[in-house]
Structure 1
Amino acid sequence: MNLASLYIRLQHYDRFQVDQMMPAISHNEEINYNETNLCTLLIAHSHGIRLYVDKIAIDLQQGSCILISPVQSYTVESSNTEAQLVRFTFETFKVKGMTLNPIAHPPLLCGYPYSLLFSQVKRVLGNEAWMRNPFCSSLSASEMAMMQSRLQFILSMMTQLDQQAAHFQNEEKIKMIQNTVQYMEQHYDEDLTVEQLANMAGMVRWQYSQQFKILTGKKPTDYLAHLRINQAKELLCNSAEPLRKISRQIGFKDESYFSRCFHKLTGNTPREYANIHLHNQQKTVIDSLGREIHVPKDATRIVTAGTDTLGELLVLGISPIGAAISIMKNQVIYHNKLRNIHNIGYWADPDKITELQPELLLVSNYRAQDLQELDAIAPTVVLNSKFRLFERLRYIAKLVERSKEAEKWITTYEDKVRLVRRQLADAYDVGETATVYLKLGEKLYIMGQSGLAATLYESLGFRPSAKVKHLIEKGQAWIEIQQHQINHYVGDHNFILASSQELQTTIHCPQIGTIATLTPGKNHFMDATWNYDDPITRGRLLEVLPYVFKKKTM
């Protein structure tokens, strides 16, 4: 966010309670929302507020601040009758000499919430009695001046969040270290040395170790030890193999050294740990069907069915013993992480699941007639299919006692989003629309708010085109279209997903194939493997998108 060259003039201020569902503009009819340079800053004064920006749902926590651009519409809702929102409405101008020029699309970072400390926000806003008056027209000139200074202070706090993510600027170095981290995660059972990893990153050992610790919080040797011990925990709880064999499976050549390392990191010997976790305590959760489910704490033998559960478990450091990967196994970008996971088909097949003797079932794809049989195998939690990424990840993390890991991932993801949006500032304008086409052989689909489209709409701030917006409002994740309908859904930017083979044909011979009739414009071609909405794909997608926008468009 760049505020240095802008002049901000406060037009209105109010604080209001959020009903179950209300258009935001109804709170102050004096505001002219047709002014093209009028921006809105919303600040969540309470928990449990859901904001819809152009029908796209965004959950706000206490202290969340979000900028709404002049071309966007919004509504808010809350199940909490005490929930409150603070709203600043302001104009932006570009300063040129002594002249103020109104800006139709101010270069502010819109559409993504900044999570500020609520104690700081509350201190800045103050507690004057007049602030509770819902009509900003009642403010005197001095009060408006005071609130203008507070608005600018809040915006500067949001700017500081961007600056705190500056360590992501050195992308090449970070990417090389991240590559070594991924290598360690995939080859922890091999004889790895710090020198070997430093050479892979193109650094000397001391520099690599220093940068590695900044990025991960651990030294390379400690990170590798934790990887190995975490894998040992799973093996100890899921197999009766002797310690000698387990230590070799995770990369330790010496059983005694493995036992000492395990005790140092866990406080238990390997066998003590295994005996403790054979008798897990239980907790009660409510699933999406409203059922009370008694699930074991620290469950390790988990089976999952559904494309929106597997990536979440993996990013939380849990590898399920079984998953519905018959279709997605060779399609997802993290297919290397699936090699030790048993395939239970596309649906939650009770016969295949029974053989795995799970402690917990987490499902979103299942047949209703199988649910009773699944419950008999192990506690079965049915996930809410309407959950968005953060909501889904937090629910699963709480279920498996990994909430800290989930919040750490979300914070890192939000930092990356702000970086990518700065990088793409010249690639698209606030308020532009985007449409995602998926080409599978002869068939063509339009994505609603799922897969790649979720990242574009929820993180990058694109808006769906009118026809796609209608699909989202109807709750449709995708629809199949015919050749003659291809331009009915077109946006300012169009993302065409297809197999790598089809992409080569389309790029080298654009006159061939279904996509040939797409209206010329800003069309971006991507492999269909990016059409997933799990945290692993979403995180890596942010690294790829800047390169996608740099490619020549048709």
Structure 2
Amino acid sequence: MNFACLYSRLQHFDRVQVDQMLPESSLYNEKINDNETNICTLLIALSHGIRLYVDKIPIDLRKGSCILVLPIQHYMVESSTGEAQLARFTFETFEIKGKALHPVAHPPLLCGYPYRLLFSQVKQVLGNEAWMKNQFCSSFSSSEVAMMQARLQLILGMMAQLDQEAIDFQNEEKTKMIQHTIQYMEQHYDEDLTVEQLANMAGMVRWQYSQQFKILTGKKPTDYLVHVRINQAKELLCNSTEPLNKIAQQIGFKDEYYFSRCFHKLTSNTPREYANIHLHMQQRTVIDSLGKKIFVPQDATRIVTDGKHTLGELLVLGISPIGAAISIMKDNVIYHNKLRNIQSIGYWADPDKIAQLQPEFILLSYYPKDLQELNALAPTVVLDKKFRLFERLRYIAKLFERSKAAEKWITTYEDKVRLVRRQLGDAYVTGESATVYLKLGEKLYIMGMNGLASSLYESLGFRPSEKVMHLIEQGEAWIEIQHHQINHYAGDRNFVLTSRKELHTVSHCPYISALAELSPGKIHFLDAIWNYDDPITRGRLLEELPYIFKKKIVST
């Protein structure tokens, strides 16, 4: 049950002081009305030397400890000092469903287990008001009761946060252990590995290990191992003439026929077909952004890519891929006419759709969870996500031996930048701050170092506003904001991107109008088609910039 969906209603609060040291005479026994089955008690130790008995089980509390006692439990307190103090809250818990409150037995916190909060935090929340003077709830005004209600909720929230931190730590440890078994698989793929053996290495039972492994990798452990073995088989088939039964044994398959079935399922070729295709194809070795060695076909023509930070780069180098993730891009990029002969592979690199194209090479701008599966289809290179435009273009050009074409484009682009900045010499001052907003329907986004903002900051000499700079330093490509926050990110000059159909009405939106009033004459409205960071869009944008600065609304 999600703690955020619960409401705790305060019933009573006071301070309990145990000032006797003898166990029998210092016991405090709380009786609970049997009819109030959902009323819990929260005890908070305000001093050291407190021993709590919950159903006769002793629990030592230190200063700042908080403990939850359920309605069905009985508790007693004794002190080893003469001034033991406890803060006590009793409350009901409800689950919020729509507009109704539904009673629950207790909040999702560990009962009978002390939460060791810092006393300084507890003291800050509780304060030093009159309630600390051993008075009862009836002695307080409604405003004081409301204040204590809020304090109760804060303490319970701090306890829940400790639970969440413990869960997060446990999950991190599980992830580390599973990653350790993945590394072991990749180094010992030729051995007779079992899921039980890997689960033992991770310190988990088999069902838990398999479940967590699939969450992390998207595959069952056995399927992942098959992918690792098939990738090794591909390398052997391309570099040796060993018979299939020996290759199968070298990669951990006992059965040559099972190896062949697995190979065909993952690559759409039999091992011999794959060898015949690739033995006659020259290869080069490249190191991708993950530090992995990839064997790239020398003259690959059947190239598949994801698209966002790779498609425009390939096209400007004169390389037309056979497939790309253009389902969204198709109608939203400036170069849509160049996409006619490219097959769509959906919204991302879908292995099933890519397999149908029988690729020779796969180029990606992000790390996919099914990388092993893609590697089984064709050599797959992942770009470094930190690459800026020139770095990205040069890296891709090197993969396909088109470095001269890349340098020619970069030189031409830099010449265009110099020309445009001279043309705009009177339109803006270098060093002005600029902010790029993207409006999609009712949603509003701030762009970091991404899309149009890249051209403004890298090429035109604008600088991000202070808040946008903070986003960029945090590595945020963009964030969604609320309409009332629009002026918080404003620069000296502001650029608003939106869909073509909204372009001529966007300036009439109330919150956009407020932005226009903040920087009169320095707000520009553009088609969202310009919000890409590929070389084709960046190059054509330079040609449009003089027109963009002359009028408010620009159509393409």
Q: TM-score with structure 1 length normalisation?
A: 0.48
Q: TM-score with structure 2 length normalisation?
A: 0.48
Which of 1 and 2 has higher RCO (CA within 8 Å, sep 6+)? 1
